[in-house]
Structure 1
Amino acid sequence: MAIIIRTLLMEMAMEMAMGRIRLHVESPETVSAVQGSNVTLPCHYRYEPALSSPRRTRVKWSWQPVNGEGQEHDVMVAIGTRHRSYGDFKGRVRLRRNAPGDASLVINPLQSDDTGRYRCEIIDGLEDESVTVQLEFRGVVFPYHSIRGRYLMNFHEAKEACEKQDSHLATFEQLYAAWEGGLDWCNAGWLMDGTAQYPVVVPRDACGGTDLAPGVRSYGVRDKSLDRFDAFCFTSSIRGEVYFLQHPVKLNFTEAAEACQNDGGRIAKVGQLYAAWKFVGLDQCDAGWLADGSVRYPIIQPRANCGTSEAGVRSFGFPPKHLKHGVYCYKVRW
């Protein structure tokens, strides 16, 4: 038997070497998804010419996180029906295998750190081919500053501030996409790569002058401990429901948080409100407390007495917590 197997392997190797059989692996360059949902990263392989009988292939998926500096991490290895997943991907990944040659990776649910470059590698013992696919989150970028005021956060404080609001520091690509979508903001904020930048759609004196063209303007890489800016946060989470609590009276901040708890939820975070506005179409012309002590409200359809003529999340900043407002609550769906 061993002699027969060796003979077959030698014959197949000769066929490969002679160019009669070639392995092809294909995948799209980029896949977009929403945090908290699931995603399928396509990967298909085939042979030219087609084989008369299937081969026992090994499928390996690896992942390089955003700003991973070249380091790849194993996600899953599969041979036939046997498979093994690794690290934070354990229990969240599987191969789709809808048809012969389908080695697509299914991730469910998506977590906030799952973005990056994924490599699908197909090994049949004779040839090794791979392809990469970039996983991006569809989401919304929003500017954020400290309750103490503007330009008061170093990089580490900005990163923590975004995470507390159910989001994370935006990448340059995410800020650039937001600028293309109309985000116009004069205050510079930290990004994930350690730079401080800001998007300008309409050049004006208060935003660097009218001589500069529209675009994302950069202060370059800054000292992460000493320099202080605001932050640009990115959220892509739709894991729960955000709603304006219908309450008979206005509430101070403490009363607002308690009212959400009494309703079976908790007071919403800024990132959750932005996600509800962006993905669910939450439109509410009522100012309400949020978990960070700010007061905001989301508008899809601009109208009289609801702020500016553009859609967005309106902010009243951080008013004294004894003042009375409504409240936005959040309930987890699962």
Structure 2
Amino acid sequence: MRGLWRPLLAMCLNLLLPCSQSWIPGYSNGFHYQDINNGNGNGEIHFNGVRLLVESPQTSVMATRGSSVTLPCHYHYEPEPSTPRRTRVKWSWLPTHGAAEPASPEDVAQETEVMVTMGNRHRSYGGFRGRVRLRRAAPGDMSLVINELRLNDTGRYRCEVIDGLEDESVTVELELRGVVFPYSSHTGRYRFNFLEAQQACRAQDAALATFEQLFTAWEEGLDWCNAGWLADGTVQYPITAPREGCGGVDLAPGVRSYGQRHRLRHRYDAFCFSASIRGAVYFLKDPTRLNFTEAVRACASDGSQVATVGQLFTAWRLMGLDSCDAGWLADGSVRYPITKARPNCGPPEPGVRSFGFPPRFLKFGVYCYR
């Protein structure tokens, strides 16, 4: 007997598998492997039992900010076991916004846990606490429901099902409907380092755009010659009409890249991404023009506040806001949104027109947000 167990023990150590009663000849634990005697004589273990499959009918999901979204995930066995199995399900998240991007090779993005569940017990984590649940509409349905979607909830979500030795997963990309817009400082062009660009976008109810968001905006016609920070710490700009000073006429249209730049020393503009808003942006109908201080008071008197740049761009792009009247915004800039180009309303294509940052004593209208 001693001679029999010694090679068996060595085999256990080599395979890094637990030495338990499952190694006793003729015993089966009902999971995925059988005893060594069913191998081919080369020390292999046959995983020829029940197979765990984890699937999702969608690789990506598009949603709107503030809404609820369901990320589909289902699991089943082939063949179906005769008795229910105890499984553990973990949802994790790899963000696409700037906080998840590596600043250096040592600063590598990591998945963070969203929710872990086993049976009827579950626990959610971080900013997802209280906002997530499993749908459980049918056996094996482990779809994740996220409520009150936030601007930085975008990213890659992984549904992982763990059953003993078996561990299978599927990923679903979450994107938000929104708009990318270039943003510069009121003091001039190329004044933001990376952290200041992040703060500038947040102040406009937005976040630094990802490359994917900027690329989509370029495909939809965004053309901007000033380079700006993106969420991954790169500096890029989109060109649809090649010209001198914007990469040259010999380069094809595309998104030009300066690559990774130093996040503190180098200074550029920003490309911000803003998603849908819960309220409404409107041009305040006032018989008189207003300086900036008067505009702030006028919106407050109307039960609202001066709109941010991000809110105006979102209302223009997603809600069709169209007004040929120039108005103050919260950052001290003056702009107006055009969805139907027409004479005396700027260039012959839709867009948000900008007067820049005029002196605050000058008089314009105002865009309010309620």
Question: Which of 180, 189, 202 is residue 150 of structure 1 equivalent to?
Answer: 189
Partners of 1:271 and 1:70 lie apart in 2 by 27
What is the aligned partner in structure 1 of residue 64 from structure 2? Answer: 34
What is the aligned partner in structure 2 of residue 21 from structure 1? Answer: 50
What is the aligned partner in structure 1 of residue 30 from structure 2? Answer: 11
Any idea what the Cα deviations from partners look like across 1:217-275, whole Å, max 9, x if unmatched? 11222122222211111111322211111222111111111111111111000001111
SS at match of 2:161: strand
Which has the larger Rg? Answer: 2
Partners of 2:165 and 2:191 lie apart in 1 by 58
Question: Which of 54, 60, 78 is residue 90 of structure 2 equivalent to?
Answer: 60
Partners of 2:172 and 2:164 lie apart in 1 by 23
Partners of 1:8 and 1:303 lie apart in 2 by 81
What is the aligned partner in structure 1 of residue 141 from structure 2? Answer: 102
CA RMSD, Structure 1 to Structure 2 (Å):
2.1
Q: State the AA in 2 paired with 1:278.
A: R
Give the Å deviation of 1:317.
Answer: 0.8
What is the aligned partner in structure 1 of residue 78 from structure 2? Answer: 48
Partners of 2:231 and 2:109 lie apart in 1 by 17
Any idea what the Cα deviations from partners look like across 1:138-184, whole Å, max 9, x if unmatched? 21110111101111222222111111000111111111111111100
The answer on 1:178 being equivalent to 2:217 is yes
What is the aligned partner in structure 1 of residue 321 from structure 2? Answer: 282
Partners of 1:17 and 1:58 lie apart in 2 by 24
Partners of 1:14 and 1:151 lie apart in 2 by 62
TM-score by length of 1: 0.92
Give the Å deviation of 1:324.
Answer: 1.2
The answer on 1:160 being equivalent to 2:160 is no
- Assess, with a 3 A threshold, how the Cα gap between structure 1 residues 126 and 218 changes in structure 2: closer, same or farther: closer
Question: Which of 148, 165, 170 is residue 131 of structure 1 equivalent to?
Answer: 170
SS at match of 2:315: helix
Identity %: 66
Q: State the AA in 2 paired with 1:312.
A: G
Partners of 2:365 and 2:28 lie apart in 1 by 72
What is the aligned partner in structure 2 of residue 265 from structure 1? Answer: 304
Aligned residues: 326
TM-score by length of 2: 0.83
Contact 2:32–2:49 (8 Å) recurs in 1: no
What is the aligned partner in structure 1 of residue 340 from structure 2? Answer: 301
Higher alpha-carbon deviation: 306-315 or 14-23? 14-23
SS at match of 2:311: helix
Any idea what the Cα deviations from partners look like across 1:12-57, whole Å, max 9, x if unmatched? 4458955242111012322222222221111111111234443332
- Assess, with a 3 A threshold, how the Cα gap between structure 1 residues 322 and 92 changes in structure 2: closer, same or farther: same
Contact 1:238–1:279 (8 Å) recurs in 2: no
